Homo-oligomer: A and B are copies of this chain.
């Protein structure tokens, strides 16, 4: 077994979860909270939020680490650590192609999180 094969997401959000009624509509069950909270937590760092955005909005739907790293005043290992956090939260996928590693967003979980947060436009008035 390759020692550096940790490029797969640790949890699979696309399967089990029943795609979340809005948080403001019915109480989130403890189990759902336990699954989704780590995703919010991963987004809870300014660097990771920007990384996520750069990946999700990248041309072709994917971004190379080599383009991501120089966008911050941080070392390579630190960016790699943040990308690993996003990966383990199930927010992105990574794929190595030759010398470079490309990251790609997982729209399904993004939609889940957005749906959980959604509020009726004229909720309280």
Contact = CB atoms under 8 A, between A and B. Distances in A.
Interface of A: 23-28, 30, 33-34, 36-38, 40-50, 52-54, 56-57, 61, 105, 107, 110-111, 113-115, 117-119, 123-124
A64 to B, nearest CB: 15
A90 to B, nearest CB: 14
A34 B53 contact: no
A77 B56 CA distance: 39
Say whether chain A's binding surface is mostly helix, strand, loop, or mixed. Answer: helix
7 contacts: A23-B52, A24-B105, A34-B46, A37-B49, A107-B123, A110-B117, A110-B119
Given A107-B124, A117-B117, A37 B44 contact: yes
Contact of A61 (B40, B114, B124): B124
Given A24-B56, A37-B46, A41-B45, 7 more contacts: A23-B56, A27-B54, A28-B50, A37-B48, A40-B49, A107-B123, A110-B119
